[in-house]
Amino acid sequence: MIFLLLSQFLIAQNEEIDFGKYKDGKQWQITNDGVMGGLSEGDYRFSDNGVVFSGNISLENNGGFSSYRSQFSKRDLSAFKKVIIRYRSKKYIMGFTLEMDRRWFVPYYKVDLPVTDWKWETIEIPFSGFARYNIGRKRPGKISKNELKKILRVGFISNEKKAGEFKIEIDYIKFE
């Protein structure tokens, strides 16, 4: 019983999704703009260091995005102040998202992950750095403690409305 309480305390103090070491993310899913008629393509594979999410963005048929997202699962992040992501990318600015609802049209929060020219970077982003979005458009508002208690899904999404190839490799995501 003490071990169970201690392990729950440690998880609450430092939550991590490790794509490299533990290959977390096998249950994550790709969602492309094909759900709305677009022609973009995205896929993922595991590497020695993490997970590689890559593909091609097409603007044909009102397309323009590809995403790699966790399954829906309640996640209370209100005890944390920031997210730390170790990644490398090229050619395309990617976004990291926090969603509180299963419905695609409900506001969510997103932050840009700058291109690293395929060099490993570790970026620390305070939750205050996330912007509110609704149907792909930036809206006023910052994420609240109450919203951080209700996170249902996290993920990565192509973040530039431009045609072309994208590639990002993620080692881990930590919440501290």
All domains of the chain in start order, with CATH: 16-175 (2.60.120.430)
Give the integer Cα–Cα distance in Å for 111 and 97.
Answer: 7
Give the integer Cα–Cα distance in Å for 1 and 84.
Answer: 31
Backbone angles phi, psi at 44, to 5 degrees: -140, 155
Give the integer Cα–Cα distance in Å for 19 and 26.
Answer: 9
Q: Give burial (CB, 10 Å; 0-12/13-18/19+) of 70.
A: buried
Give, for all 176 residues of the chain, the pLDDT tens digit. Answer: 443 333 333 344 569 999 998 889 999 999 999 877 889 999 999 999 999 999 999 999 988 999 999 999 999 999 999 999 999 999 999 999 999 999 888 999 999 999 999 999 999 999 999 999 998 889 999 999 999 999 999 999 998 889 999 999 999 999 99
